[in-house]
Amino acid sequence: MKAIYRFLKLARKEPLGCLFSCAISAAMIFAFAAGMVYILYSMTAVSLVKGTIKSATGFNATAQSIYANVFTGYFEIDGLHITNPTVYDSGTRTASKDNTEQFLHVRKIKMRLNPIDLLRGRFTVSSFEAEITFLNCVRITNSVYNLPEFLGGMKEVSSIKISDRKPLLEKLDISIAKAAYIDLSAKSDSMVWSMSDFKFSRADISDFDKTIAEMKSSLEKSNAPFVSSGLDILAKPKH
């Protein structure tokens, strides 16, 4: 009570000085609170991203580091490694002993997400760039294929940011240094196929189906029809 009384007494004598002091104090409190939010969100971003991928797809994900800015929505992931579910690694190997456990390794991902939606287990994307070092596509039956299985799960928890009442992806930039295809669906033999050095880039995307069709065409020209066919699920409407 005495402190409050002294403050009020001082405020009457020096109103501008007290107002300035209050403004400085409020700014310091706000900066401290913003800093705490930034730190706490950055600490939880790793588990949020990996947990969302795991729960949506069943594929395990690890990363060397994840940088997240809760205020801008900018995310940067280094060394993302995703492995297939155990059904793809049930002791099965091709004649050339290719390992079917690993699925995807990405050197770096840069993207803008809605940070609040990520807390709800959703990826609302406005920009996406990925430098893929290795994509390992594995088909073990006609209906069990890891690429569309993963993409289908991610589709259920992902959407494009709405701008002016329309979906808008500001940037899509994907490069694949190497991709391999292992088809184990035939009982008598297996098929192994590979491709390298694929790049695809588009900006201001409002027609996602058109962009997927363009990417599929580019992949087929790059000797990667096995990746192209896996993208079909992205162009299909949700049921």
Q: Does residue 225 belong to any structural domain of this protein?
A: yes
What does the pLDDT read at residue 47? 81
pLDDT tens digits, 94-107:
433 446 788 999 99
Closest C-alpha among 138, 54, 135, 147 to residue 88: 138
Read off the tokens for 60. 């395990």
44 vs 36 pLDDT, higher one: 44
Q: Does residue 3 belong to any structural domain of this protein?
A: no
What does the pLDDT read at residue 68? 85
Q: Does residue 15 belong to any structural domain of this protein?
A: no
Q: How many domains does the chain have?
A: 1
Return the minimum-mean-pLDDT range out of 22-26, 81-85, 204-208, 223-227.
Answer: 22-26
Position of tokens 């920009």? 127
Contact 236, 213 (CB under 8 A): no
What does the pLDDT read at residue 78? 94
User: Distance of alpha carbon 128 from its chain centroid, rounded?
Assistant: 8
pLDDT beyond 60 at 31:
no
pLDDT tens digits, 116-159:
898 888 999 999 999 999 999 998 888 899 999 999 999 999 99
Buried b / exposed e over 116-143, threshold 16 CB at 10 Å, is ebbeeebbbbbbbbbebbbbbbbbbeee
pLDDT, mean of residues 229-236: 86
Q: In which domain, by residue range, is 202 found? A: 47-235
Q: Does residue 37 belong to any structural domain of this protein?
A: no
Mean pLDDT (the chain, rounded): 80
Which residues touch 73 (CB under 8 Å, ≥6 apart)? 112, 113, 114, 115, 126
Contact 203, 214 (CB under 8 A): no
Q: Does residue 185 belong to any structural domain of this protein?
A: yes
Query: Which pTM was predicted?
Result: 0.79
Contact 38, 70 (CB under 8 A): yes
Position of tokens 């490069």? 175
Backbone angles phi, psi at 98, to 5 degrees: -70, 135
pLDDT beyond 80 at 25:
no
Q: Does residue 71 belong to any structural domain of this protein?
A: yes
Q: Does residue 117 belong to any structural domain of this protein?
A: yes
Q: Does residue 20 belong to any structural domain of this protein?
A: no
